[in-house]
Structure 1
Amino acid sequence: MIKVLWFSRTSSCYSRTKTNGYNGGGWISSLEKELTKCGNIQLGVAFMSRTSKGKEIQHGVTYYPMTYPKKTLGEKWKYFFNYTVEDEYKPYIARFKSVVEDFCPDVIHIFGSESLFGFVKLITNTPCVLHIQGILNPYKNAFFPPSVSKESYMMRSLSPRKILQSYREMITWRNSCLRERALIKIIDNYIGRTKWDEIITKTINPHARYFYGSEILRPSFYTEAQHKCPEQMTIISTSSGTLYKGLDLILKTAQILKLFHHCEFKWIVFGNTDNLRYIEKMTGIAHEDVNVDMAGIGTEEDVYNALVNATAFAHPSYIDNSPNAVCEAQLVGCPVVATDVGGIKSLIVDGETGFLIPANDPYQMAWRLKQLFENRSLAQAISQKGKSQAKERHNKEKIVNELINVYKTLLK
């Protein structure tokens, strides 16, 4: 029996919390459900929570909701004007230590370099492994699309409150990147899933030991269904509202489809609409004028049904590691057109399991989307090959076995 303690950015399968509604969530809870089926793993899950009644055992898993430390006015001031990484993580250390001492794990598995959890390494000799998700430093580098400057973004509203919010956002990104670099330097072991995240990790920490580990996707997307090519061109995308997610590229591509290719189409975008009006102002394109439907947060079933009945999934990001939205589209057989950035090349073989285009190239994205609609045999071939690739990559049993092997390797 291996005792494994997770430090997770989500509450995973803990039943007293509500989902935040984000389209891309759920893979950690999917992994928990499969891992706990194994008889040789005893699992604990620690996570931050606004409230806590202490540890709780549910369906054989020990959960540790940890409350956030209260910050004094002086500490808040220092975060913005005299930041140090140590000042940020020190108030959390006692909470981490209490959990570790109570659970007594053989292995500690940390999800995400974006959080403070990795600093648990400073108070334990237990082997630790960090599971790479997004990586903040290269994301910050690509934060602003080509048509957007930091200054224009900061002043996108003349409201003093909005300007202050923008300032806080930029300071938070700066501090988070400093914290992430410090964190990656102290962790020895990593689980990632693209060549890109391996390169970034080993650039910051040349001594890092890297293991490959794919992700278990949300349950609905494993449902066998025949992808249907619709009579009207239908494009699906997801967006978190962050500038680097490429909402501007969606608007520019939709405009080209309408004005140059004279296509009859609908483009459904799931996700929040943060910065929509600002992006419309910067591009000079209103989403309603180019057949783009901002559908809001979609449920797992909403997104699944949309993908099964879509011409293509378009992923327009300026930076990404291995977006689950792309993987889910492939798994249900929806052809993908994605920007060739970050780790996406590890997910798509261009022209075989999807199409890769340069970042900020609406002309080529529009062409590929039109090509998939007009050439049904091409779309079907890419659908089948992409689905086959995704089924192999996201095989549940394989992923669990690989993860257990990582745990065993860390114990040697």
Structure 2
Amino acid sequence: MNENLDFKKILNEVAPDLVHIYGTELAHTLSMVNVCEKEEVKTVISIQGLVSIIEKHMHANLPCRVVYGTTLRNLVRNDNVSGLKKLFYRRGKNEVQAIKKINHIIGRTTWDKACISQINPDAKYHFCNETLREEFYKHEWNIEKCDKHSIFLSQGQYPIKGLHYVMEAMPLILKKFPDAKVYIGGKDITKSQTIIDRLLITYYGKYIKKLIKIYRLEGNVVFTGPLNEEKMCERYLKSNVFICPSTIENSPNSLGEAMILGVPCIASDVGGVSDMLKHKEEGFVYQADAPYMLAHYVCEIFKDDELALKFSNNARAHARKTHEPMTNTNRLIEIYEDMLKKKE
């Protein structure tokens, strides 16, 4: 990718000591890396997700008909499951190039450290945790005020977020807790009432809609619609349990938000999740492609308030250390100072 003249202009005007780039998912990262290389400006990248790795998990154990199936919207945008995998593969090429050119990387999990060491073993890896959105430091989950037997999943638009696994888990949960409901953050991907809805629905959305019908979950699945920071926080606090059933993650902010609020958590054992949540001490961690274990652990929390409170207290204490704003700010400054005092 060629250098971006706008980036070059910014560098010339600002004359920074170093440039800190957040994320590698989009093409502008490589563009800025190239400009910084030419202008001899030190550069560090903070890893968010890694599309070159996420691409490998995109099919998410879905049936072939769902991976390759298309709707009109999918045809126009080329964003069915197979199309998303191809998109992430293309983006991943730029990502790998950018990482290979960089001498400094900031990460926070065993997973991102392993991936970076395989892409660029010569890069210096700096550890630094993330700070969450301000609202989540102000509140604490209360078991007496939550909606009993309610489950919250922060998003389900993409297959890697594992919503199809949640649909498979729900019938098992409902056998023991018939009033259980799962709330999914974001727009209703199954919506098909109007002509516009039917034009915009994806094949994955149609698949989720079909699972809801097959398992008779119409009264047990709620899409919340888009939530701002405050509304998202409210939804966490109303929930009896938060779940993160993804097929791949680094360190999901949604899990960190749930933990720091004290919402009992269950997460699939993918990416850097096990660095965040200690199994049976701070929550439950389960095999990602085992929705029956997700169902089992949800029921364990639903039936045992003492266990829920134990997880709540332990996870909150852990998250308050991990996401402590001043500690993370000071660590970031240390990284900058370390980079600036060394010649490269």
Match in the other structure for 1:142 = 57
Q: Displacement of 1:283 after TM fit?
A: 7.7
Match in the other structure for 2:166 = 250
Contact 1:154 1:166 in 2 (8 A): no
Letter in 1 for 2:68: M
After TM superposition, the structure 1 stretch with the greater mean CA deviation from structure 2, 170-179 or 299-308, is 170-179
Match in the other structure for 2:193 = none
After TM superposition, the structure 1 stretch with the greater mean CA deviation from structure 2, 286-295 or 399-408, is 286-295
* Cα distance change, pair 231–313 in 1 and its aligned pair in 2 (3 A): closer
Letter in 2 for 1:117: T
More contact order relative to length (CA 8 Å, sep ≥ 6): 2
TM-score, normalisation: structure 2: 0.87
SS of residue matched to 2:154: strand
2:276 matches 1:347: yes
Match in the other structure for 1:269 = 184
Q: Displacement of 1:171 after TM fit?
A: 4.1
Match in the other structure for 1:310 = 239
Contact 1:240 1:271 in 2 (8 A): yes
Contact 1:142 1:244 in 2 (8 A): yes
SS of residue matched to 1:108: strand
* Cα distance change, pair 191–287 in 1 and its aligned pair in 2 (3 A): farther
Pick from 356, 372, 381 the counterpart of residue 310 of structure 2.
381
Contact 2:30 2:95 in 1 (8 A): no
Deviations 1:134-182 (A, max 9, x none): 1001211110121333x6433332x4x6324226645432210111111
Pick from 297, 307, 319 the counterpart of residue 226 of structure 2.
297
Pick from 286, 296, 308 the counterpart of residue 367 of structure 1.
296
Letter in 2 for 1:398: T
Taking the aligned partners of 1:231 and 1:277, their CA distance within structure 2 comes to 29
Pick from 144, 158, 163 the counterpart of residue 75 of structure 2.
163
Q: Displacement of 1:231 after TM fit?
A: 6.0
Match in the other structure for 1:390 = 319
Taking the aligned partners of 2:293 and 2:153, their CA distance within structure 1 comes to 17
Taking the aligned partners of 2:162 and 2:213, their CA distance within structure 1 comes to 15
TM-score, normalisation: structure 1: 0.73
* Cα distance change, pair 273–207 in 1 and its aligned pair in 2 (3 A): farther
Name the % identity: 26
2:243 matches 1:328: no
Q: Displacement of 1:103 after TM fit?
A: 0.4
Match in the other structure for 2:198 = none
Letter in 1 for 2:148: Q
Higher strand proportion, which one?
Answer: 1
Higher helix proportion, which one?
Answer: 2
Contact 1:154 1:163 in 2 (8 A): no
Taking the aligned partners of 1:341 and 1:253, their CA distance within structure 2 comes to 18
Match in the other structure for 1:112 = 23
SS of residue matched to 2:4: helix
Contact 1:252 1:285 in 2 (8 A): no
Contact 2:167 2:211 in 1 (8 A): no
Match in the other structure for 1:63 = none
Contact 1:114 1:180 in 2 (8 A): yes
Contact 2:172 2:295 in 1 (8 A): yes
Letter in 1 for 2:260: L
Deviations 1:56-109 (A, max 9, x none): xxxxxxxxxxxxxxxxxxxxxxxxxxxxxxxxx31x521211111110000110
Contact 1:337 1:368 in 2 (8 A): yes
Taking the aligned partners of 2:270 and 2:213, their CA distance within structure 1 comes to 25
Q: Displacement of 1:117 after TM fit?
A: 2.2
2:132 matches 1:217: yes
Gaps of 5+ in 1: 1-88
Contact 1:118 1:130 in 2 (8 A): no
Q: Displacement of 1:329 after TM fit?
A: 0.3
* Cα distance change, pair 350–290 in 1 and its aligned pair in 2 (3 A): farther
Aligned residues between the structures: 319
Pick from 80, 99, 107 the counterpart of residue 10 of structure 2.
99
* Cα distance change, pair 170–363 in 1 and its aligned pair in 2 (3 A): closer
SS of residue matched to 1:289: coil
Taking the aligned partners of 1:371 and 1:171, their CA distance within structure 2 comes to 39
Letter in 2 for 1:208: A
Match in the other structure for 1:195 = 110
Contact 1:340 1:359 in 2 (8 A): yes
Q: CA RMSD in A?
A: 2.0
Letter in 1 for 2:162: G
SS of residue matched to 2:20: strand
* Cα distance change, pair 183–286 in 1 and its aligned pair in 2 (3 A): farther
